[in-house]
Amino acid sequence: MSEAIEAHYHITAESEFRERERLYEKARHIEASALYYATHKKSLEIAKKLLSMGIPIESIAEATGLTREEVESLLK
């Protein structure tokens, strides 16, 4: 009986550990995604301002890290 109890604790602890790791990884992914989108949004805002100042699209793309297509889409 004690072996069964020990095996149960081992299996339970192992599955709880895996679940914690899964949730931790998910949280890290969400945090990284949020940071990426916040940075991308700020780059778009800067690109809009630079376009209004008459800066060439290629220069804006290079300065902000956006693609030419992303910068051009702001003209529409």
Two tokens at 63? 């300065």
One DSSP character per residue, 36-72 reads: HHHHHHHHHHHHHHHHHTT--HHHHHHHH---HHHHH
How high is the pLDDT of residue 8?
A: 67
How high is the pLDDT of residue 17?
A: 82
Reported residue count of the chain is 76
Distance CA 25, CA 11 (A): 21
**pLDDT tens, N- to C-terminus, the chain (76 residues):** 777 767 766 777 788 888 888 999 999 999 999 999 999 999 999 999 999 999 999 999 999 999 999 999 999 8
How high is the pLDDT of residue 58?
A: 97
How high is the pLDDT of residue 76?
A: 85
Distance CA 4, CA 10 (A): 10
How high is the pLDDT of residue 53?
A: 97
